C-alpha cells in the first residue's frame, strides 16, 4: 500500500463557503486542495439568489475577491417589496428599511457564472500554495485512522490525508452525514425552493421595473396564491434575466401533497406579475434546491476531529421572515473556519474545531442563525392549538379591524429585523395575515397574465444531464407508498400522473393482493435532496461530472 | 522520461466530409485531412506518462507539409512539447514497410533516445495495423500491443501494461517489459489519474499548451531523407514491396424497401405524399 497523498487543507465544494475558506487558507500560505464534483463550479448550485454583504460580517465575498461585483454578480438590488395577495387583490409593502439595514450591498447572482468565476480565482490562489482546485471529483466520505477523521475518500481519487477538512459540500453534505453531524430526518428542518430563470429582451428590466440603469429590484410574494402551503415567492432581476421562484416549508409541502412546479406556475401566471413578465419571454432553466432552516438545522457545534462544516452543510441558512440569507453566512463561516485552522496551528492547545465554534458565536453568526428570541416565541406560537386560535382571530371581524387599524404600522412591523426573526413558522404568518391584509387594505389588480409556463416534461427536457448509466445515485429502500409516496408529489421533477419524472406511483398485483408502490428513475434528478428527507431512500450524489448540469443556477 | 507518439493524417471518413468520384475512388482534394482517430488513445497514453512520470512528450508523423495541422491538433490533445514531421517527395506512396523504416530512423535521429514510443492500433485509411509493430521491429524494442492501461516505473526502468487478449474485454493480461519499449494502444485505453497531484499537473499543462499550440510551427522539426541519411531506394514508393493489383468497389447493399423520389417543389407530387401519409395518421 502506497502512502496516501497529503495536503495541509482539503476543502470540499467550490461554492461561496468553500471559496471563502480556500482563499483565506491560501492567504495564510496553507497548502490547499479544493474538490468540486460538478463539471464546472456552479453547475450543481442553485440559489434564489440574493447575495448580501452585511456590514458587521467578519468576511464578505467582496473583501475576499475585490473584482467580484464587477465580474461575477448580476445587478445591485436597491429596491425591495413584499406583495400580500388575496385573489386579485394585492397590498404592497416597501421593505426598504429591512433590506438596507446593516447591509453594505446586496447583489442578485446566478450561480453558474458566479461560482465558476470564483473557482478560477481560487485555483490561482491555491495553486501558489502547492494545491489547487479540481472539478469532477466527488468526495464521498471521510478517511479515518484508528477511528479518527484524517482526510477524505473520493470516487475519482485515492484517499487523501489532510490536517483539516472543510466540508462546504452543500445541504446534502455527504461528509457531514458520514461524521454523524447531520441527518436527513425531519422535513421541518428544511425549505424547498424551485426557480425559473426567464430571459428578457435588452433594456426590459429598466423599463418594466422602473429601476435606474444597471440597478435591480427584489419582489416577494405571500398570501393565498399557494393553496395554503406555508411559504412564499420571489422575483429578482438579474443582468438580463429574472429569477422567479417559490420557497416552501418542506413539511407543509409534504403534508399538503402539493406539486412544487404547480405552485411556481401559480406565481408565474398571477396577474400581478403581468407587468414584469409576458408570454413572449422564454423560460430558460428550471431548478430546485433544498434549503436548511438554520433556526432548526444550524449545527451549534459543526465540527468533529479535523472536519469543519461550512454553509449549507452545517445548516447555516437564515430565513429572516421572507428574506433568505445563506451565501453571506457561508462566506463568513468559510473565512472563520480557515482562520481557526491557522490559529490552531500556532496555539497548539486548542483544536481548529473548537476555535471555529467559538468564532461562530463571538462573531454573531450563530445568533443570526439561531436567534434566542425565536426559540422563546416558537415554543408557544407553533403549538397547533395556538395556531388555530390565532388564525381564527386574525380572520375574524375583530382581527380584521385590528389589522386595518394597523395600516400605518404594518410597514414598520414588516421592516423590523427583530419582528421578522420572531415570526413563527405557522400558516397564520405565511398565509392568513398576508391574505387578510390584502383583502382589507389591498387594491385590485387589473388585467391578466398571458404567461404559459412550460410543462414539467419540457422543463426536464431543457436541462442538461450527463447520466451515469447503470449507476443510479439514489435507491428506494422502502418502496411502499406509505413510506415513500410523498416523493411523487414533493420531488420537483415528479408529479402524480406524470410518467417522465423521477418518482411514479404504481399499483401492483401480488398473490391476489393489490399494493401501491413507488418506482424511481434517477435520470431527471436535479439533486435537490427532497426525496432523501420525505422518502425512505439511500441517497448519494452522482459521481464527479455526472448528473444534472445547471447553466444558470 | 521521454516519449514519442506516432500519428498520421487520414481522410475524414465521417459522413458529409468524405467525397468519392463516380468510380468509387476517394477524392483526396475534396476530403479534409484529420488526425487518425485511433491515434487518440495513443496520445492519451503519452499524456498520462508525461503527467504521471514527468519529462517531455513528442509527436511524430510522416507526410506532406500540410500535416502540420494534424500535428497541431495532436499537440493540443497531448500537450506535446515538440513536433517532428518527416516530409519529403522521396517518402511519398510508402507502404507500411517503407514507412516503418523511415519512422524508426526518425526516432533514432532524435537527440535523446525516447523511453517509450506509442502508436494507435490501425489507421482509418490503410487499416493494416502493421506500421506500429514493424517500427518496433526496426528499432529492435519490446512490443506490447492492445494496451488498455499502463503504469511506468521510471526507477526500475520498466512498464507494466494491461492488454486485451483476443479482443475480448473479459480477458485481460498484465505484462511487464523493460524500457525502452513500443506500446500500441487499444481504442479501449483509459488513462488513470488517481492522485490529485496528477490532475493539478494536467490542468497546468493544459494552460501551458494553449499558448504553445498557437505557435506550433516554432516547435516543429521537419526532416527530409537526407537529414535522416536514408537511401531513396529503400523508402517511399521505391522501397515498398507491397503491390496493389486492383481495387474493387464494394457494391451498395440493396435497399430493403422501395423508394419513390419526390420533387419537393412540385405541389402535385407533394400532395401524393400527404395522401400516402394520411393513411397512417390518427393511430389506426
Kindly tell me if the per-residue pLDDT of A455 is higher than 90: yes
Q: Which of A432, A460, A488 is the last residue of a domain?
A: A460
Nearest CB to B195 within list A131, A132, A157:
A157
Kindly tell me if the per-residue pLDDT of B283 is higher than 60: no
Do residues A348 and A487 both lie within one domain?
A: no
Q: Which residues of A touch B204 (CB under 8 A)?
A: 127
Kindly tell me if the per-residue pLDDT of A399 is higher than 70: yes
Kindly tell me if the per-residue pLDDT of A14 is higher than 70: yes
Residue with more model confidence, A151 or A392: A151
Answer whether A158 sits within 8 Å of B199, measured CB to CB: no
Do residues A314 and A250 both lie within one domain?
A: no
Residues A426/A380, Cβ–Cβ less than 8 Å: no
Residues B159/B116, Cβ–Cβ less than 8 Å: yes
**Other CB atoms within 10 A of residue B96 CB:** 20
CA gap A27, A64 in Å, rounded: 10
Q: Render the burial of A308-324: b for 16+ CB within 10 Å, e for the rest.
A: bbbbbbbbbbbbbbbbb
Q: What is the pLDDT of residues A251-266, one digit of tens each?
A: 999 999 999 999 999 9
Work out the average pLDDT over A522-548: 97
How deeply is A193 buried, as exposed, middle or buried, from its count of CB atoms within 10 A (0-12, 13-18, 19+)? buried
> Position of cell 379591524?
A401
Size of interface A-B (CB pairs under 8 A): 28
Residue with more model confidence, A373 or A274: A274
Residue with more model confidence, B158 or B14: B158
Do residues A361 and A275 both lie within one domain?
A: no
Do residues A285 and A429 both lie within one domain?
A: yes
B2-234 maps to CATH 3.40.50.620: yes
pLDDT at A520: 96
Q: Which three cell numbers stand for residue B173?
A: 493480461
Mean residue pLDDT of chain A comes to 92
pLDDT-wise least confident of A28-42, A408-422, B6-20, B221-235: A408-422
Structural domain boundaries enclosing A198: 76-106+184-292+377-460
Q: Which of A339, A369, A399 is the last residue of a domain?
A: A369
CA gap A185, A192 in Å, rounded: 15
Answer whether B200 sits within 8 Å of A134, measured CB to CB: yes
Work out the average pLDDT over A172-190: 92
- Coil/strand/helix, residue A189: helix
Element (H, E) at A192: strand A190-199
Answer whether B200 sits within 8 Å of A7, measured CB to CB: no
Q: Which residues of A touch B203 (CB under 8 A)?
A: 123, 132, 134
Domain boundaries, chain B: 2-234
CATH number of the domain encompassing residue A427:
3.30.9
Mapped to the 3 state alphabet, what secondary structure does A379-421 carry? HHHCCHHHHHHHHHHHHCHHHHHHHHHCHHHHHHHHCCHHHHH
Percentage with pLDDT > 90 across chain A? 79
Residue (of A298, A324, A23, A355) closest to A176 by Cα position: A298
Q: What is the pLDDT of residues B108-124, one digit of tens each?
A: 999 999 999 999 988 88
Confidence of residue A1 (pLDDT cuts 50, 70, 90): very low
CATH number of the domain encompassing residue A479:
3.30.70
Do residues A259 and A391 both lie within one domain?
A: yes
Do residues A28 and A17 both lie within one domain?
A: yes
Residues A34/A100, Cβ–Cβ less than 8 Å: no
Do residues A93 and A217 both lie within one domain?
A: yes
pLDDT at A421: 63
pLDDT at A370: 86
Q: What is the pLDDT of residues A312-346, one digit of tens each?
A: 999 999 987 778 899 999 999 999 999 999 999 99
pLDDT-wise least confident of A353-367, A400-414, B3-17: A400-414
**ipTM, 2 dp:** 0.89
Kindly tell me if the per-residue pLDDT of A491 is higher than 70: yes
Q: Which residues of B touch A134 (CB under 8 A)?
A: 196, 199-200, 203
What total of structural domains would you count in chain A?
A: 3
Residues A474/A531, Cβ–Cβ less than 8 Å: yes
Q: What is the pLDDT of residues A75-117, one digit of tens each?
A: 999 999 999 999 999 999 999 988 888 999 999 999 999 999 9
CA gap A174, A498 in Å, rounded: 30
With a CB cutoff of 8 Å and minimum separation 6, the contacts of A249 are A187, A188, A190, A191, A229, A230, A231, A293, A425
Q: Which three cell numbers stand for residue B145?
A: 500491443
Q: Which of A443, A460, A477 is the last residue of a domain?
A: A460
Do residues A148 and A204 both lie within one domain?
A: no
Residues A195/A245, Cβ–Cβ less than 8 Å: yes
> Position of cell 494552460?
B207
A119: Cα within 13 Å, side-chain hemisphere: 26
End-to-end alpha carbon distance in chain B: 69
Residues B114/B58, Cβ–Cβ less than 8 Å: yes
Percentage with pLDDT > 70 across chain A? 95
Residues A23/A336, Cβ–Cβ less than 8 Å: no
Residue with more model confidence, B154 or B35: B154
CATH number of the domain encompassing residue A341:
3.50.50.60
Q: What is the pLDDT of residues A194-230, one digit of tens each?
A: 999 999 999 999 999 999 999 999 999 999 989 889 9
Min distance B151 CA to chain A CA atoms (Å): 14
Q: What is the pLDDT of residues B178-193, one digit of tens each?
A: 999 999 999 999 999 9
Nearest CB to A5 within list B197, B203, B204:
B197
Mean residue pLDDT of chain B comes to 89
Do residues A452 and A470 both lie within one domain?
A: no
Percentage with pLDDT > 90 across chain B? 52
Amino acid at each position: 500500500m502506497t502512502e496516501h497523498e497529503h495536503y495541509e487543507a482539503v476543502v470540499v465544494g467550490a461554492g461561496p463557503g468553500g471559496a471563502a475558506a480556500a482563499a483565506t487558507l491560501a492567504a495564510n500560505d496553507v497548502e490547499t486542495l479544493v474538490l468540486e464534483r460538478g463539471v464546472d463550479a456552479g453547475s450543481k448550485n442553485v440559489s434564489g439568489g440574493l447575495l448580501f454583504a452585511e456590514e458587521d460580517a467578519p468576511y464578505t465575498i467582496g473583501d475576499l475577491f475585490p473584482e467580484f461585483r464587477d465580474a461575477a454578480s448580476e445587478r445591485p438590488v436597491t429596491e425591495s417589496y413584499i406583495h400580500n395577495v388575496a385573489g386579485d387583490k394585492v397590498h404592497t409593502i416597501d421593505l426598504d428599511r429591512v433590506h438596507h439595514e446593516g447591509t453594505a450591498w446586496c447583489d442578485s447572482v446566478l450561480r453558474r457564472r458566479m461560482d465558476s468565476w470564483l473557482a478560477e480565482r481560487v485555483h490561482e490562489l491555491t495553486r501558489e500554495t502547492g494545491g489547487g482546485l479540481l472539478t469532477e471529483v466527488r468526495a464521498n466520505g471521510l478517511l479515518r485512522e484508528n477511528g479518527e477523521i484524517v482526510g477524505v475518500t473520493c470516487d475519482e481519487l485515492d484517499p487523501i490525508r489532510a490536517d483539516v477538512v472543510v466540508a462546504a459540500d452543500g445541504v446534502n453534505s455527504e461528509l457531514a452525514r458520514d461524521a454523524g453531524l447531520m441527518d436527513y430526518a425531519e422535513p421541518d428542518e428544511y425549505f424547498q425552493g424551485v426557480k425559473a430563470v426567464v430571459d428578457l429582451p435588452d433594456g426590459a428590466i429598466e423599463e418594466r421595473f422602473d429601476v435606474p440603469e444597471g440597478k435591480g429590484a427584489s419582489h416577494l410574494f405571500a398570501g393565498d396564491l399557494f393553496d395554503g402551503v406555508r411559504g412564499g415567492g420571489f422575483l429578482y432581476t438579474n443582468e438580463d434575466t429574472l429569477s422567479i421562484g417559490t420557497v416552501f416549508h418542506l413539511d407543509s409541502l409534504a403534508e399538503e401533497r402539493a406539486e412544487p412546479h404547480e405552485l411556481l406556475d401559480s406565481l408565474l401566471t398571477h396577474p400581478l406579475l403581468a407587468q414584469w413578465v409576458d408570454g413572449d419571454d422564454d423560460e430558460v432553466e428550471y431548478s430546485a434546491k433544498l434549503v436548511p432552516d438554520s433556526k432548526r438545522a444550524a449545527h451549534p457545534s459543526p465540527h468533529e476531529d479535523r472536519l469543519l462544516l461550512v454553509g449549507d452543510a452545517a445548516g447555516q441558512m437564515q430565513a429572516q421572515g421572507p428574506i433568505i440569507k445563506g451565501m453571506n453566512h457561508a462566506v463568513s463561516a468559510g473565512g472563520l473556519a480557515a482562520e481557526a485552522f491557522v490559529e490552531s496551528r500556532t496555539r497548539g492547545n486548542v483544536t481548529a474545531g473548537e476555535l471555529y465554534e467559538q468564532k461562530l458565536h463571538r462573531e454573531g453568526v450563530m445568533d443570526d442563525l439561531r436567534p434566542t428570541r425565536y426559540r422563546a416565541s416558537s415554543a408557544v406560537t407553533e403549538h397547533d392549538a395556538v395556531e388555530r386560535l390565532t388564525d381564527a382571530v386574525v380572520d375574524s371581524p375583530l382581527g380584521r379591524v385590528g389589522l386595518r387599524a394597523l395600516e400605518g404600522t404594518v410597514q414598520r412591523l414588516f421592516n423590523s429585523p427583530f419582528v421578522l426573526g420572531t415570526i413563527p413558522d405557522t400558516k397564520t404568518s405565511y398565509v392568513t395575515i398576508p391574505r387578510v391584509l390584502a383583502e382589507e387594505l389591498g387594491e385590485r389588480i387589473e388585467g391578466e397574465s398571458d404567461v404559459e409556463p412550460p410543462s414539467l416534461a419540457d422543463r426536464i427536457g431543457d436541462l442538461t444531464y450527463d447520466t451515469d448509466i447503470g449507476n443510479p445515485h439514489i435507491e428506494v429502500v422502502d418502496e411502499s407508498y406509505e413510506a415513500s409516496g410523498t416523493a411523487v408529489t414533493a420531488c420537483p421533477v415528479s408529479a402524480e400522473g406524470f410518467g417522465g419524472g423521477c418518482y411514479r406511483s404504481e399499483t401492483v398485483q401480488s398473490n391476489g393482493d393489490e399494493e401501491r408502490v413507488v418506482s424511481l428513475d434517477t435520470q431527471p434528478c436535479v439533486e435537490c435532496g427532497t426525496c432523501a428527507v420525505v422518502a425512505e431512500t439511500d441517497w448519494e450524489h452522482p459521481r464527479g461530472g455526472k448528473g444534472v448540469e445547471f447553466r444558470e443556477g | 522520461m521521454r516519449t514519442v507518439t506516432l500519428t498520421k493524417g487520414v481522410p475524414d471518413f465521417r459522413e458529409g466530409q468524405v467525397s468519392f468520384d463516380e468510380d468509387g475512388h476517394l477524392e483526396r482534394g475534396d476530403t479534409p485531412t484529420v488526425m487518425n482517430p485511433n491515434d487518440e488513445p495513443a496520445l492519451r497514453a503519452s499524456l498520462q506518462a508525461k503527467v504521471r512520470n514527468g519529462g517531455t512528450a513528442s509527436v511524430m508523423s510522416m507526410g506532406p507539409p500540410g500535416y502540420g495541422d494534424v500535428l497541431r491538433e495532436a499537440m493540443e490533445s497531448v500537450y506535446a512539447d515538440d513536433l517532428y514531421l518527416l516530409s519529403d517527395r522521396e517518402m511519398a506512396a510508402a507502404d507500411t514497410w517503407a514507412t516503418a523504416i523511415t519512422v524508426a530512423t526518425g526516432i533514432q535521429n532524435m537527440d535523446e533516445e525516447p523511453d517509450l514510443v506509442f502508436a494507435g492500433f490501425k489507421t482509418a485509411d490503410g487499416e493494416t495495423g502493421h506500421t506500429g509493430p514493424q517500427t518496433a521491429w526496426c528499432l529492435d524494442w519490446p512490443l506490447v500491443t492492445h494496451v488498455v492501461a499502463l503504469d511506468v516505473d521510471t526507477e526500475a526502468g520498466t512498464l507494466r501494461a494491461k492488454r486485451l487478449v483476443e479482443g475480448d474485454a473479459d480477458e485481460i493480461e498484465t505484462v511487464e517489459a523493460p524500457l525502452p519499449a513500443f506500446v500500441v494502444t487499444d481504442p479501449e485505453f483509459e488513462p488513470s489519474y488517481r492522485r490529485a497531484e496528477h490532475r493539478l499537473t494536467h490542468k497546468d499543462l493544459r494552460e501551458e499548451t494553449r499558448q504553445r499550440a498557437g505557435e506550433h510551427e516554432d516547435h516543429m522539426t521537419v526532416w527530409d531523407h537526407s537529414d535522416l541519411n536514408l537511401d531513396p531506394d529503400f523508402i517511399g514508393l521505391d522501397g515498398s514491396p507491397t503491390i496493389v493489383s486492383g481495387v474493387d468497389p464494394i457494391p451498395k447493399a440493396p435497399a430493403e424497401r422501395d423508394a419513390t423520389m419526390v420533387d419537393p417543389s412540385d405541389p402535385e407530387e407533394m400532395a401524393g405524399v400527404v395522401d400516402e401519409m394520411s393513411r397512417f395518421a390518427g393511430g389506426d
